[in-house]
Structure 1
Amino acid sequence: MIESKPKMTFHVESVRVDSHSSISKCKNAKITLDTDILGNTDAFNPAELLLSALSACIIKGVERTVPILQFQLHSIEVIVDGVRQDVPPRMESIFYKIIVDSEESEQRLNLLHENIKKFGTVFNTIAPGTNLNGILVRRQN
């Protein structure tokens, strides 16, 4: 009999602070949330959190892939832009740009990008319901 690996689970708790913000806690971390209907420039709103989660997923995917591929990497930057549809309210499209500082070949950069798209939990959760597109480019010095 093949033993299955236990599924990963996640736990976040959020509490309303006031009419302007809330706090989400996870492990030893916390983040301020913009839950003000007029907006709060000192916190992430739900859509920005989603885009941040995608950014984090991409960077974590790189961190996971780099040792496996023995990929040489100096730095990575991810820029994400989303377009919201009003009716029904949802993210209509998301575009990302991954900027990698590396001397690896174009073929290896493409391989890194394919691994990000194939193995990212948040990436693969968002992709089926959103027009999700992006590029991976080499940093120009």
Structure 2
Amino acid sequence: MPDTEDIKTFTLSARRVDEHGSLAHTKEADIVLDTSVDGRVDAANPVELLLASLSACMLKGIERHSPAMPFAYSSAAISLTARRPALEARVTEIDYVLTVDTTESDSKLELLHKNLLKFGTIYNTLAPGTTITGRIQRGAN
């Protein structure tokens, strides 16, 4: 068991605003949550927030790993799709396409992808119980 000094702690609080939604707060950021039974188009629902967490994990991983490799890029974007059986309360599959605008070699692009999967906190939290498939591709420079 690691020392408590080696443990990072993250906090977030959320509250119901009304029957149409809720509000989460962390650090200096507020996030509007779709907690309406009917759904709403101006807020993310729980599954979309899960996808946002995975996308943030991968994009932050690029920021973290690119200086150490080194890996030069001008931009990165990710598109994700989640699937859940209609009668089950769980996400069973997530597919993604990660697009990185870079002139680096294909082998460095693949190494970056391997690092994202190996060291991604959210990816490694989800992967044991969810089939995650995806690819990295080169974007326009």
- The bucket for the TM-score relative to the shorter chain is over 0.9
Partner in structure 2 of residue 22 of structure 1: 22
Partner in structure 2 of residue 72 of structure 1: 72
CA–CA separation in structure 2 for the residues paired with 1:109 and 1:70: 11
RMSD between superposed Cα atoms in Å: 1.5
Query: Structure 1, residues 24-65: CA drift from partner, whole Å, max 9, x if none?
Result: 000000100000011011100000000000000000010000
What is the letter of the counterpart of residue 22 of structure 2? Answer: S
Aligned length: 140
CA–CA separation in structure 1 for the residues paired with 2:96 and 2:127: 12
Q: TM-score, normalised by structure 2?
A: 0.95
Question: Which runs of no fewer than 5 residues in structure 1 stay unpaired?
Answer: none
Residue 6 of structure 1 and its aligned partner are, at CA, apart by 2.0
Describe the shift of the 1:4–1:49 C-alpha distance in structure 2 as closer, same or farther (beyond 3 A): closer
Question: Which runs of no fewer than 5 residues in structure 2 stay unpaired?
Answer: none
Partner in structure 2 of residue 43 of structure 1: 43
What is the letter of the counterpart of residue 92 of structure 1? Answer: T
Q: What SS class does the counterpart of residue 135 from structure 2 fall into?
A: strand
78-87 vs 37-46, greater mean Cα deviation: 78-87
List aligned pairs for 1:44-59, cutoff 5 A.
44-59=44-59
CA–CA separation in structure 1 for the residues paired with 2:103 and 2:75: 11
Q: What SS class does the counterpart of residue 73 from structure 1 fall into?
A: coil
Could you tell me the percent identity over the aligned residues? 42
Residue 86 of structure 1 and its aligned partner are, at CA, apart by 2.8
